[in-house]
A and B are shown apart, each in its own frame.
Chain A
Amino acid sequence: GESVGLHLPTLSVQEGDNSIINCAYSNSASDYFIWYKQESGKGPQFIIDIRSNMDKRQGQRVTVLLNKTVKHLSLQIAATQPGDSAVYFCAENDRAGTALIFGKGTTLSVSS
């Protein structure tokens, strides 16, 4: 079936380090991927997305990498700050292209 998973449930980094959050997906037909950030008590917020015709996309301090060969997605956060502490979810479109399928999430903790 369709599933999106993350390799690590938690990631702890020091302020100023670069963070890498990984995600494996199973649907080889997915053509859209997205990363969300969820802070405690809030709804998910869009970080960055990427379509399957790309292998890299950069935003402000964030980069998403897509490796379709091994069905792997990663989110890189440069110079991680305490405000980046949150749960990060990757998601892909479902087979019908009508909804997003979410992974379980990685909790990023940033210490000063």
Chain B
Amino acid sequence: NAGVTQTPKFRILKIGQSMTLQCAQDMNHNYMYWYRQDPGMGLKLIYYSVGAGITDKGEVPNGYNVSRSTTEDFPLRLELAAPSQTSVYFCASSSGTANTEAFFGQGTRLTVV
């Protein structure tokens, strides 16, 4: 049971570099989410998608972009990495709205130096 798979697990970026965090789920879930978790803090919603071709901003979208061309994949793009984006990023998916359990990936630990 793969569930939600995130790659890479770790990455170090230099300021100004770009990268894409990959997220894939094999549960045929319509809803997918990207959260970031800063040390000692809860998870903050970056972007979410309610289905292929539909994305929307969460609480902290600045500096990020997403796309959802398929049900399975929901990549998160950082165009110009900044130290403030140093965080752990979690992708999640759920079968319905936020009134159902969300399944999380193992996270991507990103450091921007």
Chain B interface residue bracket vs A: 20 to 34
Is B56 among interface residues, defined by CB-CB distance under 8 A?
A: yes
Among candidates B97, B100, B101, B104, residue contacting A43 with C-beta atoms closer than 8 Å: B104
Given the complex of chains A and B, what is the CA–CA distance between A94 and B98 in angstroms?
Answer: 8
Q: Given that A32-B98, A44-B104, A89-B42 are contacting pairs, would A98 and B90 also be in contact in the complex, using a CB cutoff of 8 Å? A: no
Give the distance to chain A from B97, nearest Cβ to Cβ, in Å: 5
Contact residues of A between 42 and 92, Cβ < 8 Å to B: 42-46, 49, 51, 89
Decide: A99 near B42, CB < 8 A? Known: A42-B106, A43-B106, A46-B101.
no
B98 CB to closest chain A CB, in angstroms? 4
Once A44-B104, A103-B42, A105-B42 are accepted as A-B contacts, the answer to whether A97 and B99 lie under 8 Å apart by CB is: yes
Using a CB–CB cutoff of 8 Å, the interface residues on chain A facing chain B are 4, 9, 31-32, 34, 36, 41-46, 49, 51, 89, 93-94, 97-105
B48 in contact with A98 (CB, 8 Å) = yes
9 more contacts with CB within 8 A, not counting A43-B90, A46-B102, A105-B41, are: A44-B43, A93-B98, A98-B98, A100-B45, A100-B98, A101-B45, A102-B35, A102-B44, A105-B40
Determine if B48 and A104 form an interchain contact, defined as CB atoms under 8 angstroms apart: no
Q: What residues of A have a CB within 8 angstroms of the CB of B61 in the complex?
A: none
B101 touches A49 (CB 8 A): yes
B105 smallest CB distance to A (angstroms): 5
A99 near B48 with CB under 8 A, answer yes
**What distance in Å separates the Cβ of A102 from its nearest Cβ neighbour in chain B?**
4
Bound form: Cα–Cα A27–B43 in Å: 17
Q: What CA separation (Å) do A103 and B40 show in the bound complex? A: 11
Centre residue among A46, A49, A100, A103 by max chain B CB count within 10 A:
A100
